[in-house]
Structure 1
Amino acid sequence: MSAKQSGYVTDVTYPAHFHKEIQPVWLATVATLKGLQVPDIAQGYSYCELGCGLGVNLLVAAACNPLGEFVGVDFNAQHIAFARQSAEALGLKNLRFIQADFAEFAQSNALFFDFMVSHGVWSWIPASTQQQVLKAVQRGLKPKGLFYLHYMCHPGSTQMMPVQKLLNELAHSLSGTSEQNMGAGLDLLTRLDLAGVFHDQPTLSASLTQLQKMNKAYLAHDLLSDHWNPQHSVDVHRMAAQFGLTYLDSANAFEMIEALSIPQSAQALIANVSSPAVRETLKDLARSQRQRQDLFQKQPQALTAEVCVQRISQMVFELMPAAPHSGGQVFRTPIGDIDGPAELLSPVLQRLAQGPAQVAELCRLPVYAGNLPQLMQSLLLLMWRGHVHPQRPDGPANPVEAGALRSWIKQHDLKIEAVPSCGTAVVDEAVRNVQPGSR
């Protein structure tokens, strides 16, 4: 039987993953686009990740965002040891790691944060621990602070529930490591698939084929947990509301564009529904949503329309490494391929290939002619694809820390590239295309 702690796999290290959507610049940008006041990241701010794993996201954030003070919390001693050693090696003074479970942290924490995030945790912990996550956020998040929460949801994750149950039960019956047990489980699923067990579930069969290509340690953490619980998004939103958190929107840039992320045939139907809960459920059904990247705020305050437009217009965007310099794009989305026409995207890419530019300048491109909503739709698509990113508003990063981060990334063979001017990193194209797992 593989080693577990509180039902969670601990005998193999969780592979390092980077998520651009949890970085402070990204979060502040998408909340501003929703017309809300956000923490001022041009001044000092504080940030906490609950369930930080090896700390890769925080190490990038701290090295690239010198005005931020960062805290990572994880119960896994091996994860925290690696994260602390890495922070020391990088010479980061604005980052510390705390080894604690969420109940301990919720009880003992006396710090207050502008940003709190949790990715790849919620759906793999029991309901009682989910309550502790929300207690920690309720206590630690400042007014107007932003909380990002990732979780599995229905209906997209529903079909994997019996598969996960089978894999977990099989692992409990075996004596190997979690990776070995995961391999045995995948072999069994392959035999079942070849035997025609999933003949009436072609999408599940395709998912199982994809699993065979993925990292076994990653899959062990994902699929061998004793707690594997997709939820309806409206239920999560109601839970969060009980702790003083208001749902804003998805932090996923593509999902913010409902005109594209929802099938056109369903858009009018959803738009005519007055109940937010029913509308959100319909969105999940229309998208066959598998996971959510939800953004909440404590005591949200709206910007005036004039101030919102002003702040968006002042944002500066930068072209990311390896991004195209011109042309149209085909966006492979959960609801099918979407063509990004060259006449809309190419002028933006060509201008940013010359250097960063303010939204106000991009909006003056002839193809947009002052049409800010249309420009922002193009920029959101390019953000989602990893081709462009908003810059940090607080000036250059520390070149010593940025250089040390790049060396550290190379040393650990991480498939990311740091972009300090944007306070983030970009994931290599090959990695992005072959690791579509639920976390």
Structure 2
Amino acid sequence: MQPLNVFPMTWTPCPDDFDPAWSPTSIRYCAARFGAALPPPGPGYAYCDIGAGAGAHVAALACLYPEASFWAVEANPTAALQAGRLMSATQRANMTVAPLDLERFLEAATPAFDCMVVRAGYCTLSQQERELVAEMAARKLKCGGALVLAYEALPMAAPFQTLVGVLRSCWNAVAGSEEQRLGRVLDIMERLLGEGRGLFAQGQPVAAACRMLLDMDRRILLHRYLAPYYEPVWFCELGDALARRGLIFRGSLDLTSRLAQTGLAQETGQLLEEVGVLSLQETLRDCLTGTFLRRDIFVRGHNPLADANDVLQQTPFSADMHEGDYAEVCRSARGEIRLDMSAHSRVLDSILSQGACTAGQLAAELGMSHEQVDGVCALRLAMGDLVTAPQAPDRAAVAACNMHLARRAVTDNAMATLVSPLGGCVLLNPVCALFLLAIASGCSPLDHALQAIDPQRAAGNEEEAVRLEQMVLRQYEEFAMHTLPELQRLQIVAAEQADTGLGSSMAGRDGLSDPGESDDSGNRS
């Protein structure tokens, strides 16, 4: 069976899943767009994910950046145990799981970090816990290291606060298991929205917030909006509090707010410049642009690297072309950006043809200015078509990580996020993910998926094993008839080049047969 490349570059966010926007390369590029040069993720580089959940994000980064070290800090013992199992499955010596709460981790012996991130849940922390995060960054970051926080900014959060109050009242009033209570709460919200009166009338901010929450992943609802504590924060309050600890705002992962879709007139940008105080500028920008979620970069102390332009030209990119209309003129708070559409197409076509390349290489190859190429890359990164990519990932470890996540997702009845060796990821039905991974390694997709059920039988859970087996058989029939032909038609699944070694590396890590030597005996496909 011909090995296949099964990794289109798309991203769907989930609490515990890999997110390429939070990779060291992406954070470094975004900081450089704002004039700060962070250290590269090479030997001696240390990254810490606070609230890492089941560890998929950290494990993926450990595979993609084998020379750097990665810490997963998680207070929930169940999630920390899952992170430890994933670390064992991928055999990552550069990954550490710390099953500690914030207070204990603050006092724990750790390396000095180049980057610490809080990807979700900051607004569910109490004031004391937020102080601990700030103190942790002040103590544990290297000089020039970055703290990156995701949080709900207050200007657009008032409807959410009203709605969260209603959600919690309903949550406290209903009985049953966690799943039953959440189902009942969502049913109440759906019916209130259908009634369309008062706060839930069409066009009301609370109604819009309700629709957004109903479309949200249920785990996000539970862990963020039904947490014991939830309070959004003004940027000026957060920025000023961190500045007192020596952590200075140095940019955002949300390049869109500067490069596109802001709708601010040039006069408004001049007004913001005249305000002068950075924290007030950012807060007013949030009000003018309707910003709800911010993902900000704060750098500790003096930045030892002088020239951010070098970072911009050295950052590698990989692409997944999306259809859509792109405005030729984008307005930012600092003026107007004109997009050269001919340059836009040439840059994307070149990235797609090469798989991954840097802005500097593109400028030399296409005979364009560095500024032109970087502007295109920044805009497409902001709009989700590009991901920043590591240059020398451990492909065998990526494959092992994917196999573990897909197998776990089958028994957890969850979606599987597969990590691309180029730095992106794709969210798939877990059984479909196992089918594709088996094809990529030259194995029978059905046999391989059924092996994921063996642990259930070994544990004596025969009823659950039979249910899962029936599900796999049903989905294989659907997969063989519809999914695989459609993927091939769209060229999302492309024949893998012989020199990538993905199939053989997976075989070596998981005990799978080599694609060229696969035995078809007993093949149910």
- Which of the residues 375, 382, 385 maps onto 1:384? 382
Is 1:191 matched with 2:187? Answer: no
Q: CA 1:309–1:204 in 2, change beyond 3 Å: closer, same or farther? A: same
SS of the counterpart of 2:66? coil
Q: Could you say what secondary structure the match of 1:420 adopts?
A: coil
Gaps of 5+ in 2: 1-13, 410-414, 430-525
Equivalent AA in structure 1 for residue 385 of structure 2:
H
Aligned partner letter, 2:182: M
Which whole-Å deviations, capped at 9, do the CAs of 1:343-383 have from their partners, x for residues lacking one? 342111111122033323433577x842x334322211211
Name 2:348's counterpart in structure 1: 349
2:396 to 390, 393, 400: 400
Which residue does the alignment assign to 1:162?
162
1:302 positional shift: 6.7
Aligned with 2:148: secondary structure?
strand
Query: Partner of 1:60 in structure 2?
Result: 60
Residues 316-354 of structure 1, C-alpha deviation per residue, up to 9 Å, x if partnerless? 3332xx435x985479x9x9xx99774342111111122
Does 2:137 align with 1:137?
yes
Which whole-Å CA distance do the structure 2 matches of 1:91 and 1:181 have between them? 39
Q: TM-score, normalised by structure 2?
A: 0.70
Which amino acid in 1 is paired with 2:386? V
CA distance in 2, matches of 1:315, 1:171: 46
**Partner residue, 1:70:** 70
Letter in 1 for 2:275: V
User: Helix, strand or coil for the counterpart of 2:257?
Assistant: coil
Letter in 2 for 1:22: W
Question: Residues of 2 paired with 1:426 and 1:231: CA distance?
Answer: 31
Instruction: Give the 3 Å change call, closer, same or farther, for CA 416–212 of structure 1 in structure 2.
Output: same
Distance 1:261 1:365, change over 3 A: farther
Mark the structure with the bigger radius of gyration: 2
Q: Which of the pair is proportionally richer in strand?
A: 1
Cα offset for 1:57?
A: 0.9
Indicate how the Cα distance of structure 1 residues 32 and 15 shifts in structure 2: closer, same or farther if over 3 A, else same. Answer: closer
- Report deviation, 1:152: 0.9
In the alignment, residue 51 of structure 1 is paired with which amino acid? Answer: G
2:118 is matched with: 118
Give the C-alpha shift of residue 15 in structure 1. 5.3
Give matches, 1:234-253, under 5 Å.
234-253=236-255
Distance 1:97 1:416 in 2: 20
Would the alpha carbon gap of residues 213 and 38 (structure 1) be closer, same or farther in structure 2, given more than 3 Å must change?
Answer: closer
| Residue pairs, 1:35-434, within 5 angstroms | 35-193=35-193, 194-198=195-199, 199=201, 201-257=203-259, 260-261=261-262, 263-264=264-265, 266-301=268-303, 303-304=305-306, 307-319=307-319, 322-324=320-322, 329=326, 342-355=341-354, 356-363=356-363, 369-370=368-369, 372-392=370-390, 395-413=391-409, 414-421=415-422, 424-428=423-427
1:77 to partner: Cα distance: 0.6
**Structure 1 position 428, deviation (Å):** 4.2
TM-score of the superposed pair, with normalisation by structure 1:
0.82
Asked if structure 1 preserves the Cα contact closer than 8 Å seen for 2:419 and 2:426, the reply is no
Q: Distance in 2 between matches of 1:308 and 1:216?
A: 39
Structure 1: segments with no counterpart, 5+ residues:
1-13, 431-439
* Higher alpha-carbon deviation: 213-222 or 223-232: 213-222
Give 2:115's aligned amino acid: F
Percent identical pairs in the alignment equals 20
Residue type of the alignment partner of 2:346 = P
Distance 1:158 1:197 in 2: 16
Counterparts in 2 of 1:285 and 1:93: CA distance versus 1, 3 Å: same
Q: In the superposition, relative to structure 1, how do residues 275 and 215 fare at CA in structure 2: closer, same or farther (>3 Å)?
A: closer
Task: After TM superposition, give the deviation of residue 303 of structure 1 in Å.
Answer: 4.9
| Corresponding residue SS for 1:272 | helix
Residues 224, 340 of structure 1: alpha-carbon distance in 2 compared, 3 angstrom cutoff: farther
Deviation at 1:178, TM superposition (A): 3.0
Give the aligned length: 401
**Cα offsets for 1:88-125 (capped at 9, x unmatched):** 11111111211111011112344311111111121001
Secondary structure in structure 1 of the residue aligned to 2:123: helix
The structural deviation recorded for 1:163 is: 1.1
Contact 1:152 1:292 in 2 (8 A): yes
SS in 1 for 2:32: helix
In terms of fraction of residues, the more helix-rich structure is: 2
Over aligned residues, Cα RMSD in angstroms?
2.9
